[in-house]
């Protein structure tokens, strides 16, 4: 099986490379090798390598910054996946694209189903939704996996921010009224690999970690674990805030738990990486 991985240097991209089956031939293309917004290059690249499967791990993920960079966010999160979906279609490759819980407005109080109404609150969520819609429009064989609150040992994420702030500050102030499910990027990579192996039915899937919590709960967990492992010298004070009290540029969903229908046996525990 020949697999083209785009956005190979991101959190998901790197975790995917770590566990890709040995017998698969992987073409790991980071931003420098393949810019997914370059329509002609995407077309020629896919034609040249003829992958059986394309996994798109490339995205614009800076949620607040997207508000002032809507054009570039749209190019990467909507035009890019569209280019890949078209190229996959032309070359008979199965296409796996990743989307987000931020396509929802968070007004629900029960886990979001794949069939629930979307209503993104900010530019990032809107561009990710456009990406989903464009892919589904041009390619009947696309699999879209919505996930949430991704963290890993790679790149930037909430866990790393908390560890950094815990070393710099004596008090951390964290929102306690946004509820979701932290997802280890390695588990997500594993899930995608299982779907590919199972030759799944195309369509929209939800996948996230099992634990439901607020960002405040997540911060508490990270800080206590890090302290236990001597990764931070002292325990900072943790104070719970409401979203109104936190100076964010864009509103996040209050509740974005995804109803996880994909069942895979997870072999990597979600906090394992912190021990490395």
Ligand X SMILES: Cc1cn([C@H]2C[C@H](O)[C@@H](COP(=O)(O)OP(=O)(O)O[C@H]3O[C@@H](C)C(=O)[C@@H](O)[C@H]3O)O2)c(=O)[nH]c1=O
Enumerate the active-site residues: 124
In the bound state with ligand NDP, the residue whose beta carbon lies nearer, of 227 and 251, is 251
By CB under 6 A, tell whether 132 contacts ligand X: no
Contact indicator for 148, 258 with CB cutoff of 8 Å: yes
Whole-angstrom Cα distance, residue 193 to residue 198? 9
Using CB under 6 A, pick the residue from 3, 5, 28, 37 that binds ligand NDP.
37
Contact indicator for 92, 40 with CB cutoff of 8 Å: no
The strand pair at 179-180 and 213-214 is best described as: antiparallel
Smallest gap from residue 99 Cβ to ligand X (A): 8
Scan residues 7-36 and list those touching ligand NDP (CB under 6 A). 7, 9-13, 30-31, 35-36
Angle between helical axes of 185-198 and 11-19 (0-180°, round to 10): 60
| Residues 100-119 as x/- pattern, contact with ligand NDP by CB under 6 A | x-------------------
Which option in ligand X, ligand NDP, none does residue 248 bind, with CB closer than 5 to 8 A by kind? ligand X
Using CB under 6 A, pick the residue from 27, 42, 53, 58 that binds ligand NDP.
58
By CB under 6 A, tell whether 102 contacts ligand X: yes
Which option in ligand NDP, ligand X, none does residue 36 bind, with CB closer than 5 to 8 A by kind? ligand NDP
Give residues with Cβ within 8 angstroms of 230, minimum separation 6.
none
By CB under 6 A, tell whether 100 contacts ligand X: yes
Among 255, 206, 258, 260, residue whose Cα is nearest residue 106: 255
Residue 84: Cβ-neighbour burial (10 angstroms; 0-12, 13-18, 19+): buried
Output phi, psi for 213, to 5 deg.
-160, 170
Using CB under 6 A, pick the residue from 95, 112, 154, 215 that binds ligand X.
215
Tokens of 235: 């325990």
By CB under 6 A, tell whether 236 contacts ligand NDP: no
Q: Which stretch binds ligand X (CB under 6 A): 110-118, 129-137, 172-180, 260-268?
A: 172-180
Which option in ligand X, ligand NDP, none does residue 37 bind, with CB closer than 5 to 8 A by kind? ligand NDP
In the bound state with ligand X, the residue whose beta carbon lies nearer, of 141 and 243, is 243
Using CB under 6 A, pick the residue from 3, 5, 6, 220 that binds ligand NDP.
6
Contact indicator for 52, 36 with CB cutoff of 8 Å: no
The strand pair at 203-206 and 142-147 is best described as: parallel
By CB under 6 A, tell whether 173 contacts ligand X: yes
The strand pair at 2-6 and 25-29 is best described as: parallel
Helical H runs in the chain? 11-19, 39-49, 70-74, 80-90, 123-138, 158-168, 185-198, 215-228
Binding site for ligand NDP (CB under 6 A): 6-7, 9-13, 30-31, 35-37, 57-61, 76, 80, 98, 100, 128, 147-150, 155, 185
Contacts with ligand X, residue ranges (CB under 6 A)? 61, 63, 100-102, 148-150, 158, 161, 165, 172-175, 178, 215, 241, 246, 248, 252
């Amino acid at each position: 099986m020949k697999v083209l991985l785009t956005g190979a240097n991101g959190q998901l991209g790197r975790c995917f490379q770590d566990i890709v089956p040995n017998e698969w031939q992987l073409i790991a293309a980071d931003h420098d090798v393949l810019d997914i917004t370059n329509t002609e290059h995407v077309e020629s690249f896919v034609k040249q390598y003829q992958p059986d499967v394309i996994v798109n791990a490339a995205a614009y993920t800076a949620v607040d910054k997207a508000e002032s960079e809507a054009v570039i966010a749209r190019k990467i999160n909507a035009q890019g996946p569209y280019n890949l979906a078209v190229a996959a279609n032309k070359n008979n490759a199965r296409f796996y694209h990743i989307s987000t819980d931020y396509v929802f407005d968070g007004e629900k109080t029960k886990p979001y189903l794949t069939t629930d109404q979307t209503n993104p609150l900010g530019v990032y969520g809107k561009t990710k939704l456009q990406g989903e819609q464009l892919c589904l429009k041009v390619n009947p064989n696309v699999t879209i996996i919505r996930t949430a609150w991704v963290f890993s040992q790679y790149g930037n994420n909430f866990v790393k921010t908390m560890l950094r702030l815990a070393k710099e500050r004596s008090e951390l102030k964290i929102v306690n009224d946004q509820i979701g499910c932290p997802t280890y990027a390695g588990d997500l990579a594993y899930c995608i690999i299982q779907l590919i192996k199972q030759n799944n039915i195309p369509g929209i899937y939800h996948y996230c970690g099992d634990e439901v919590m607020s960002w405040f709960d997540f911060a508490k967990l990270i800080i206590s674990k890090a302290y236990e492992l001597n990764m931070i010298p002292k325990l900072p004070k943790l104070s719970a805030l409401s979203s109104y009290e936190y100076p964010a540029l864009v509103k996040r969903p209050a509740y974005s738990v995804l109803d996880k229908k994909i069942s895979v046996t997870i072999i990597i525990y979600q906090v394992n990486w912190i021990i490395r």
